[in-house]
């Protein structure tokens, strides 16, 4: 496996290099019904009036491709994620700036978190592990990455919303393995996320991202090793991290 690097070990890649080819979609592009007659230009107001006649449909106007038409009763399972996204837009200014919030801590402590996670991933010699993160209260404690790869802030917010919008993922000592699409990294495929909340009473979440679907057990071993090293850190690193992550000033 290629070397994993932590922030600060080399010059960081410019995240703005992730350029997406977007296609603007206007409301006049929505096909309401088939008609063999000549197409008559209609105003946006008329189109919106037509859409209002379908109360049990959700219409998503996307900048990427055609609109998505989804039945309301099929949205029940993702309702909590939608609520989490809406709530975050109301409270988190970083979303408007395509930025991420960082948990304040001493540089030496952050370096230790990064170097420990990096060394644990490298020791496992797994091909396909691209990123490792520690997140709490919608903020980043540390990120490590495979060289040549960066994770866009908006992709990071997708991970954050996945965690905060699903209470079942936040059970202490539970492990979750789920496919996830990070569109600014690759909008045509999936990665696999190993998600763990290893410490009871702490909001700290460890995430490892891999492109291999059979990496659950190896990544579980990596997380266990990371936890063991963190808990052996001088000056009780675990207590320090939990204290920092529990501070009211760090919460939403």
* Each residue's pLDDT expressed in tens, for the chain with a length of 252 residues: 444 544 444 333 333 232 333 333 333 333 434 445 455 566 667 766 766 665 555 555 555 555 555 666 656 666 666 666 666 666 677 766 778 888 888 888 888 889 999 999 999 988 889 999 998 888 898 999 988 899 998 899 889 888 887 777 777 777 889 999 999 998 888 899 999 988 877 788 899 999 998 999 999 999 999 988 887 764 455 565 565 555 433 444
Residue 26 lies in a domain: no
Residue 18 lies in a domain: no
In the three-class reduction of DSSP (H, G, I as helix; E, B as strand; rest coil), residue 73 is classed as helix
- The predicted structure's pLDDT at residue 248: 38
Residue 213 lies in a domain: yes
The token duo for 22 is 């977007």
- The predicted structure's pLDDT at residue 240: 58
Give the residues across from 58 on adjacent strands.
70
Residue 55 lies in a domain: no
CA distance 158 to 182: 7
What does the buried/exposed string (b/e) look like for 127-155 if buried means 16 or more CB atoms within 10 Å of the residue's CB? ebbbbbbbbbbbbbbbbbbbeeebbbbbb
Residue 121 lies in a domain: yes
- The predicted structure's pLDDT at residue 15: 32
The number of angstroms, rounded, from the C-alpha of 141 to the middle of its chain's C-alpha atoms is 14
The answer, as to whether pTM is greater than 0.75, is no
Residue 175 lies in a domain: yes
> For the chain, how many structural domains are there in total?
1
CATH of the domain at 216: 3.30.450.30
Domain residues for the domain of 118 are 100-250
Q: In what order do the strands lie in the sheet with 191-196?
A: 4-5, 139-146, 129-136, 205-210, 191-196, 175-180
Residue 84 lies in a domain: no
- The predicted structure's pLDDT at residue 117: 93
Residue 91 lies in a domain: no
């Amino acid at each position: 496996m290629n070397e994993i690097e932590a922030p600060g070990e080399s010059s960081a890649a410019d995240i703005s290099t992730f350029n997406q080819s977007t296609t603007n979609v206007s409301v006049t592009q929505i096909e309401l019904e088939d008609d063999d007659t000549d197409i008559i230009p209609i105003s946006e107001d008329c189109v919106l009036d037509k859409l209002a006649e379908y109360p049990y449909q959700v219409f998503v106007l996307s900048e990427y491709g055609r609109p998505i038409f989804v039945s309301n009763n099929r949205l029940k399972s993702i309702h909590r994620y939608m609520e989490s996204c809406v709530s975050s837009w109301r409270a988190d200014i970083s979303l408007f700036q395509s930025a991420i919030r960082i948990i304040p801590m001493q540089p030496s402590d952050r370096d230790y978190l990064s170097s420990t996670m990096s060394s644990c991933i490298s020791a496992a010699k797994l091909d396909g592990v691209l990123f490792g993160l520690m997140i709490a209260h919608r903020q980043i404690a540390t990120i490590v990455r495979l060289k040549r790869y960066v994770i866009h802030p908006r992709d990071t917010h997708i991970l954050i919303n996945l965690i905060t919008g699903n209470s079942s993922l936040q059970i202490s000592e539970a492990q979750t393995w789920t496919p996830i699409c990070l569109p600014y990294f690759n909008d045509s495929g999936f990665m696999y996320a190993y998600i763990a909340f290893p410490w009871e009473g702490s909001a700290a979440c460890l995430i490892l991202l891999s492109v291999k679907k059979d990496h659950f057990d190896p990544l579980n071993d990596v997380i266990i090793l990371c936890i063991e090293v963190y808990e052996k850190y001088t000056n009780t690193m675990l207590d320090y991290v939990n204290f920092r992550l529990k501070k009211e000033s760090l919460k939403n």
